A and B are shown apart, each in its own frame.
Chain A
Amino acid sequence: EAQVTQNPRYLITVTGKKLTVTCSQNMNHEYMSWYRQDPGLGLRQIYYSMNVEVTDKGDVPEGYKVSRKEKRNFPLILESPSPNQTSLYFCASSSSGQTKETQYFGPGTRLLVL
C-alpha cells in the first residue's frame, strides 16, 4: 500500500532533550516536506527536500534540522526542543510525474514539549 509513515505518532518530552521524528514513503517520491499545524495558523512548512542530499528551509525552520540521505526517508530533528515547538507535525511527499504538485500526507505526530 502506497503510504507515508511517521514515527512516533505521539511524543511527550522535556525542554532540551533531542528528538527525531522519522518519515518514510514507499512511493519513490522525489519531493518530501515537513509541516507543523497549530490552531488558527493552518499548516506551515518547516523544511523541504527536492531530492536526496537537497534540502531547503520553509517558512518556519528555526529550531529544526532535516536530512535526506535516502530517497525514502526524511527525518525531522529537534536538537533542543522548546515548549513553542509543541505542535502537530506532518510529513508529506510528492512524485515527479503528472501529479507532482499533489502531496501525500502522513498521519501526523503530536508532540508535547514540557
Chain B
Amino acid sequence: SQQGEEDPQALSIQEGENATMNCSYKTSINNLQWYRQNSGRGLVHLILIRSNEREKHSGRLRVTLDTSKKSSSLLITASRAADTASYFCAIILSGSARQLTFGSGTQLTVLP
C-alpha cells in the first residue's frame, strides 16, 4: 500500500502537554496533508506541506517532512481537551491529480 501510516494508533496525554504523531509512506509524493476528525464527523483540513518544504507552522501546529525518510510528524503544542480527535495524514502522489490517500489515523485523547 502507498498510503500514509500513522504512529501511534492511539495517544493519551494530559492537557498542556505536547502531542506528536508520525506518518510514514512508501513512494514519492507531491504533498502531504494532515486532517482532523471529531468522532463520527467530517474531516477538517489542518495543514499541507509540499515535497520541497521541510517544516510548516499553523498556530499550535507544527508539521515536518523528511522526504529522504518518507516520513512526516505533526506536533500539537500546549494541547487542550478540545484537541481530542482522530488525526489523519494523507498524501498526494507525484504525478497524481488530486487523489488523497489516507492513513488509518491516530486517536488523540487529551485529558483535562
Contacts and interface: CB of A to CB of B under 8 A. Distances in A.
Contacts of A35: 102
A43 B35 CA distance: 11
A74 interface: no
Given A94-B98, A101-B92, 14 more contacts: A35-B102, A40-B104, A41-B104, A42-B104, A43-B100, A45-B100, A45-B101, A48-B98, A50-B97, A59-B101, A92-B43, A101-B98, A108-B42, A110-B40
A61 interface: no
Contacts of A107: 41-42
Interface of B: 3, 30-31, 33, 35, 40-45, 48, 88, 90, 92, 97-105
B48 A101 contact: yes
A74 B97 CA distance: 18
The 3 closest A-B pairs by CB, nearest first: A105-B42, A42-B104, A43-B102
A42 B105 contact: yes
Contacts of A58: 99
Nearest to B32: A101
